A and B are shown apart, each in its own frame.
Chain A
């Protein structure tokens, strides 16, 4: 149990479930205990779709959990409170208000006098480096300046806790770095009125750079997989050996979680319960070709791959996972290693690749075999998409079902296993010439 004394916000036994089509609940968050301590930046890290943003919204009382409770300064938090402010990934600025009006809008609920509210807004604008832009409309600003308005609006309310939902992920690399540095400078010089920060991110380096403590969430449903304290002195340097070690450590924890979750499905043999990652055939074969060539020679560490391909780790994971599921490569620790089949694939021509892919798809993705079997059993060789959707939604959320079907359709089309018509939303056997 975390120490309750210094906790500003406490989440107790939080569970969250969304309704499936059949009406049954599908758990997204499972029994999560978490507290945000006084004076810390707490990072929430996890795969995309793991429910970290949902958890942040629950901490801010923007969403009600299915069960469990949120305590703010020891009292139950039922609706958004004055001491909690949110910074959004998409900025969430009102396009019809100027910068100054946007910041003042955040103060409306405090019922301040007009002069005081103006003064506070002005102070926040100065602090965050927006001076001179007061009368600009958001559409006139660059992404970075917009997010500065997002920060100013949150800070002007002088919150105890700042909830930041991937605040830098909609920005380009350079802008994000500038904003991060500026934020950390203010934080380290204690210029911010805020006592604690909860930040959702999927960028591991960002997490290690900014946070005092990291919580890593597993997915389907999300549980707390690991808690990693980061005691590096500030300001932190990415080039430090210690920094690199921590980043590597977080990578392996995340990869291990991924591998474990992949393994779970092969054991239970629940053909339809395995969600497929959104990995296109083009990207998978591209990755195979890169892996087989120099300097990797069939094996590479994920973080090296990600940085050399200029991909976010969250964009790389689905591709690696796809290769792992199809057994063209193996995902282990932090590394991706081509299998023998993967090497053969790399050196084959188009037709041979298709044949190989088809074999692997039928063997390792039970859903595709299932679709083929259903199509064969039917006289006309056709089956509506809905038939599979209903079946799959017993095990998967609607979003995962959608994503999985999308993947299996793309893979099946490439492998020429079956045809799919989106207009009538039906699967059918491929009419063979001759």
Chain B
């Protein structure tokens, strides 16, 4: 950047010479391109469900499996990003679209990931009957459904909270829709979006096993990847192979984090809206490497210049709808028409659904779904309480010691990203070994992966707790229960609620893979709504899958609306000082 300014000032410009860092960065980039290319070629290969390549349990096969899995994750991420930009924008730009899209997103978010898989896999396979691509797309779609919703939500929320003065400035300087999008909206949404993308990746890893080893009704497909490797290892009761898979996954997540998210977070620091300099600037050695190479930097700058030029193009959606026509129709009339249309559509679909349900389902089914839902609800509630009791004190203790927090925080984030279901076989092995009750002892698996959100949010809250409050508490010798009740708990409450919301949502989603767990021929059934859906999926019983999913959606949405949102609003109001 310094050279940039110098050039403008008419200073001396030195031709760029390659340095050793160029070589290192070049090797890195060429390797990545080659890997992506080979992965893509395999996806397009011929394929038939009857003659699938055997999944090898040899550790030497793991690197290539890890690559394939990573490729799927990346593809799903791209799709999620595209979805986010279109869906989020549409919802934020139009009041009428928002009335439909946002409640829809709320429901989409609450539908368990496997629910999508069971309904869409047949469709995707039929798209490319004799290519691997069809099944690949189904797997990618399943991963997409575990990533897209919270990203779209975050983008939508950012668009709704764009600072008033920046909005006025971009209107005052007459930005076109396109310019506004790239100059104002995307940059402003960037920090939240990246954070949510990281969360989405963790979610994606969790469901990779389920989405690669697809088993819906008669269709059994295992795509080469870490997920299938784990599934195969479980089937063969090969504990060593599970261990290798855990190692491979750890390495993959670590590389992914270093090569993609660290640089992204460090780069995105400039999009922070606060006008003050940050206390801790996120750094990434990869980004530093890329920035310090002269050749790559000039390549980067020309890419930068090209994207700049692209964002300066004046495209506007305004010309699509003639302003005069829009003005001629009174908005009230449009509203009536629009909401009328929605009402009609909902009524029609509801009627169809009732017909379908009436033909296929009976009241005993509904009662079974409700009962199972109750069991899972109880589990989630108990587990959240337990996780709270364990992690809040620990999180506070860590958060109040900045030195420790600095070291523990990345570990907690890594643990949250780590797919806990890889540890399930170990748990099953122990339960069988000690003959424990699956109904109780399978429960902790649900929260194994998501409890970390409580921990690292509490750590963040305790670290951000104002020092003067702490000092005041010390000065007046406030201690013991009063200190917890009146000082620290109110201080971390908003953070805790954020973490608990994520943890509870994750636990619901995880119930499908954790309430029924198998180890070779042994299958442990903990019963509950997740087990219900999983069993019906295995049997290919679509009406009951739908019933289970609908029940879960209703429960999750109800829990969000009745418990978490009021709590969140309360936390925000209570801890404000003005």
The chain A residues found within 8 Å of chain B, CB to CB, are 57, 60, 62, 79-82, 84-86, 88-98, 100-101, 105-106, 108-109, 111, 114, 122, 131-132, 134-135, 137-140, 146, 153, 157, 423
Contacts and interface: CB of A to CB of B under 8 A. Distances in A.
B174 A96 contact: no
B187 interface: yes
A106 B166 CA distance: 12
A95 B191 CA distance: 13
Contact of B183 (A57, A79, A89, A94): A94
Interface string B1-44: 11011001100000000000000000000000000000000000
Contacts of A153: 173
A62 B314 contact: no
13 contacts: A62-B168, A89-B165, A92-B163, A92-B166, A92-B168, A105-B173, A105-B183, A134-B4, A134-B8, A138-B275, A139-B277, A140-B277, A153-B173
A365 to B, nearest CB: 24
Given A108-B175, A139-B275, A157-B173, A57 B8 contact: no
B64 interface: no
Contacts, number: 90
B577 to A, nearest CB: 12
A140 B274 CA distance: 11
Nearest to A133: B5
B172 interface: yes
A182 B246 CA distance: 66
B329 interface: no
A81 B171 CA distance: 10
Nearest to B574: A423
A122 B5 CA distance: 11
A146 B4 CA distance: 21
B314 A109 contact: yes
B483 interface: no
B165 A85 contact: no
B179 A109 contact: yes
A111 B272 CA distance: 28
Interface majority SS (helix, strand, loop, mixed), chain A: loop
B171 A134 contact: no
Most buried by A among B2, B5, B270, B274: B5
A47 to B, nearest CB: 21
A157 B176 CA distance: 16
Contacts of B484: none
B125 interface: no
B174 A82 contact: yes
Contacts of A84: 172
A135 B5 contact: yes
A123 to B, nearest CB: 12
A95 B268 CA distance: 12
B183 A108 contact: yes
B169 interface: yes
A423 B165 CA distance: 32
Top 8 nearest A-B pairs by Cβ distance? Answer: A92-B165, A109-B174, A92-B169, A86-B172, A96-B187, A135-B5, A90-B165, A106-B173
Given A94-B187, A105-B183, A139 B175 contact: no
B276 interface: yes
B312 interface: yes
Contacts of A137: 270
B184 interface: yes
Interface in B175-190: 175-176, 179, 183-184, 187, 190
Contacts of A81: 174
A62 B165 CA distance: 11
A122 B8 contact: yes
A96 B276 contact: no
B303 to A, nearest CB: 16
B309 interface: yes
B570 to A, nearest CB: 9
A88 B165 contact: yes
Given A62-B172, A138-B275, A423-B574, 12 more contacts: A80-B173, A84-B172, A88-B168, A88-B169, A92-B168, A94-B184, A96-B271, A134-B8, A135-B1, A139-B277, A140-B277, A153-B173
B273 interface: yes
Contacts of B275: 95, 138-139, 146
A226 to B, nearest CB: 29
A109 B168 contact: no
B176 A95 contact: no
Contacts of A157: 173
Nearest to B168: A62
Interface string B186-213: 0100100000000000000000000000
Contacts of A105: 173, 175, 183
Contacts of A111: 314
A85 B270 contact: no
Contacts of A60: 172
Interface in B280-327: 308-309, 312, 314
A135 B165 contact: no
Interface string B333-361: 00000000000000000000000000000
A228 B1 CA distance: 50
A155 to B, nearest CB: 12
B187 A108 contact: no
Contacts of B9: 131-132
B404 to A, nearest CB: 30
B567 to A, nearest CB: 15
A135 B2 contact: yes
B273 A95 contact: yes
Contacts of B190: 96
Given A57-B168, A109-B314, A134-B5, A95 B272 contact: yes
A131 B276 CA distance: 22
A96 B168 contact: no
Contact of A135 (B4, B272, B274): B4
A185 B179 CA distance: 35
A90 B174 CA distance: 19
A126 to B, nearest CB: 10
A67 to B, nearest CB: 16
A53 to B, nearest CB: 10
B335 to A, nearest CB: 16
Given A95-B273, A135-B2, A108 B173 contact: yes
A406 B272 CA distance: 33
Contacts of B168: 57, 62, 86, 88, 92
Contact of A109 (B4, B165, B173): B173
A5 to B, nearest CB: 27
A106 B176 CA distance: 12
A137 B272 CA distance: 11
Contact of A85 (B4, B172, B271): B172
A129 to B, nearest CB: 15
Interface in B255-280: 270-277
A89 B4 CA distance: 30
A399 to B, nearest CB: 15
A139 B5 CA distance: 18
Nearest to B270: A96
Nearest to B8: A134
Contacts of A423: 574
Contacts of A95: 270-275
A80 B8 contact: no
Contacts of B277: 139-140
B383 to A, nearest CB: 30
B302 to A, nearest CB: 13
Contacts of B172: 60, 62, 80, 84-86
Contacts of B163: 92
A122 B309 CA distance: 18
Contacts of A135: 1-2, 4-5
Contacts of B5: 132, 134-135
A62 B171 contact: yes
Contacts of A134: 4-5, 8
A138 B9 CA distance: 20
Given A122-B8, A137-B270, A108 B165 contact: no
Given A96-B270, A122-B8, A139-B277, A86 B169 contact: yes
